[in-house]
Amino acid sequence: MAIFTSIVAPTDLSDGSASAVHVAAAIARDWGASLCVIHIYAVPERVYGVYPMLSSFGSSLPLQEAADAALEDWTSRLELYLKPDLMTRAGAVAETILDEVATRNADLVVIGTHVHHLPSPIIGSTAQKIIRASPVPVLTVRPETAGRARASRASGRRPPMESS
């Protein structure tokens, strides 16, 4: 019986997200799970404030097409182990990701972190919101994981598991 059957990997199209998507793809491959890579983009509020009638057009705006193209281009450069489902949505980032987790009945969220070292390390606000509100386990991945994952893939080895 597979532990993971559906994985959601949110991305902001950054290097940190690339690390997380690589890890998510490896887990999906190992468990035979589906992988959804989702990018949430914001529609500028000032557009809706000036032209409220545009809010009814939602995803038909050219912004949706630009987000789709950006996600397709970004994932194609990652050379993943498998072909993920790609999805773009407009909305509040954490809430939209959690909606997709529920819609897909996902078992796992894999998200990149932007670690800020103040007196103590903290992770980004989106990752924190998802960790706090997710009904399923959330795996956070640091940006520096990408180099190790790529090296392991090139050598045919799986990336080693590490504790944080």
pLDDT value of residue 75: 95
Residue 97, class by beta-carbon neighbours within 10 Å (0-12 exposed, 13-18 middle, 19+ buried)?
A: buried
Pick from 1-5, 52-56, 59-63, 76-80: least confident: 52-56
What pTM was estimated for this model as a whole? Answer: 0.77
Mean pLDDT of 80-106: 94
- Per-residue model confidence as pLDDT tens digits over 25-39: 999 999 999 999 999
Q: How far is CA 2 from CA 31, 137, 160, in A?
A: 6, 15, 20
The domain segmentation of the chain, as residue ranges, is 6-155
pLDDT value of residue 124: 67
Q: Which token pair is 41?
A: 């983009």
For the chain, the distance separating the N- and C-terminal CA atoms, rounded to the nearest angstrom, is: 28
> At the fourth CATH level, which superfamily is domain 6-155?
HUPs (3.40.50.620)
Strand partners, 122: 116
pLDDT band at 14 (very low <50, low <70, confident <90, very high): confident
Supply the mean pLDDT for the chain: 80
Q: Are strands 116-117 and 121-122 parallel, antiparallel or unpaired?
A: antiparallel
- Rounded to an integer, what distance in angstroms lies between the CA atom of residue 88 and that of residue 130? 17
**Which residue would you say has higher pLDDT here, 130 or 61?**
130
